[in-house]
Amino acid sequence: MNTLTLSRRALNLLTSGSSLPTTSCLSASPSSFVQSSHLSTIRLLGRDYPADEETNVSAHLLKHTDRLLHLQKQHPLQIVKQRIVENMQAKYLWNNRSPLFSHYDNISPIVTRAQNFDELLVPGDHVSRQRQDNYFINKDLMLRAHMTCHDSDMIRSGLDCFLTTGDVYRRDTIDRTHYPVFHQMDCVRLFSTWELEEFAQDPKNFKAFADEGSPADPNIQSCHTTEAVKIMEYSLKSTLIGLVQSLFGRCKYRWVEATFPFTYPSFELEILYNDEWLEVLGCGILMQDILVKSAVPKKVGWAFGLGLERLAMAMYNIPDIRLFWSEDERFLKQFRVDNIHRPIKFEPYNNYTSRARDIAFWLPANFVENDFYDFVRDKLPRDTVEDIKLIDNFSKGDRTSHCYRLTYRAWDRHLTSEEANHIHDTLATEVTKIGGVVR
């Protein structure tokens, strides 16, 4: 077994209020941080899927696929979901009677790459397709990275106005606002030309689609008329402002221009929360090509997708995204309310000390940071890492070394310094097992 000698790094290691972190230095490159490639099958939601060279779902992630927090009664995510659905279904009625928007929250997160990307016109070389950002089950299937992946199928099945909610999966950094599984709600509203007419200046001569050869407006899709887009944009933005105000009351917000391959024009909505602008959703006018391919070429529409964790963290003052996964009564009982509209302010039930420890290693070939983050989540117990930051980066010859600071803190218990050392030693040992040599 390798012996671990911990050396101290003088470089900007002091963090306020915590002791000087210790650094584990690895003198040889680990061969790879990718974990799952050796598996022959992946068991997911009660079924086995063949693994192949594209497989990169981590063991840590697989433990989360059957939790379905958005379906768990009196869970904060379920409460936020319910409040949004209630708002949309009470406000928008078909013939003043039944809700315009139907809601689906039990759709499997296992989708094809075609659903997640191609059907949404995501180009073959788009950054969002990268292996380092997605969880692939194998070369055909993946865990959905956004709820928008169901839009084409839902539209093709004949739906005009619908909401979908579910768990989505993305490889990402480790900190208080990022977790590899989070929850989104998406919404689509389609209009026939006659539905837009009533908002037009001259309804009789209103057109939703531009005549061939008419002057192009670079701010909209060339097939749409400026007036149709104005009406849809107003409908989209007023729906969303109404929704956000139903959750937060009157609050400051701003629209930011955005880019999505499936909408044009596109926007993001940010709200001012605790003096910071917080992005809560993306939206836009659906690309007409998606509607053409979904067999409704004569309709136009808008769509949006919002993050339930982002909203719940702001609404209830929840300081760390890991808390949503907590099974601790001290967390859960704070959301057991008889009325979901009752204001709730989460009261932190501890102030456990954080413990910073550093680890440095030479990078293996083709290193991507998200591989290291998944490795850490796989190897360490119960999400004890609150945050990872790259704090030092240096090269010698053709080799590069990274030094990461890991902040350890558990939400349900006090971590002693010895425990943090032990957890950190475990990480160093795991890195040695894949070829890194600890010195």
- Binding residues for Mg ion (CB under 5 A): 282
Choose among Mg ion, ligand FA5, none what residue 310 binds, the Cβ cut-off being 5 to 8 Å by kind: ligand FA5
Residue placing its CB nearer to Mg ion in the complex, 76 or 282:
282
Question: Cβ of residue 281: shortest distance to Mg ion, in angstroms?
Answer: 8
293 binds, among ligand FA5, Mg ion, none (CB under 5 to 8 A by kind): none
Instruction: Give me the least distance between CB of 168 and ligand FA5, in Å please.
Output: 7
Which is nearer to Mg ion, 157 or 259 (by Cβ)? 259
Least CB distance to ligand FA5 at residue 20 (A): 31
Measured from each CB, the residue nearest to ligand FA5 is 307
Judged by beta carbon, residue 211 or residue 257, the one nearer Mg ion is: 257
Q: Cβ 407 to Mg ion, closest distance in Å?
A: 25
Residue 428 contacts which entry, ligand FA5, Mg ion, none (Cβ below 5-8 A, type-dependent): none
Q: Residue 70: name its binding partner from ligand FA5, Mg ion, none (Cβ under 5 to 8 Å by kind).
A: none
Residue number with CB closer to Mg ion (145 or 286): 145
Nearest distance, CB of residue 10 and ligand FA5, angstroms: 34
Q: Which lies closer to Mg ion via its Cβ, residue 212 or residue 257? A: 257
Could you tell me the smallest distance in angstroms from the CB atom of residue 118 to ligand FA5? 15
| CB closer to ligand FA5, 220 vs 306 | 306
* Contact between residue 342 and residue 386 where contact means Cβ atoms under 8 Å apart: no
Q: How far is the CB of 169 from Mg ion (least distance, A)?
A: 16
Contact set with ligand FA5 (CB under 6 A): 146, 148, 170, 172, 178, 182, 184, 186, 260, 263, 266, 279-284, 303-307, 309-310
Q: Which option in Mg ion, ligand FA5, none does residue 303 bind, with CB closer than 5 to 8 A by kind?
A: ligand FA5
Q: Which is nearer to Mg ion, 284 or 436 (CB)?
A: 284
Give min distance, CB of 109 to ligand FA5, in A.
14
Closer of 26 and 174 to ligand FA5 (Cβ): 174
Nearest to 129 by CA among 119, 117, 121: 117
Residue nearest Mg ion (C-beta atom): 282
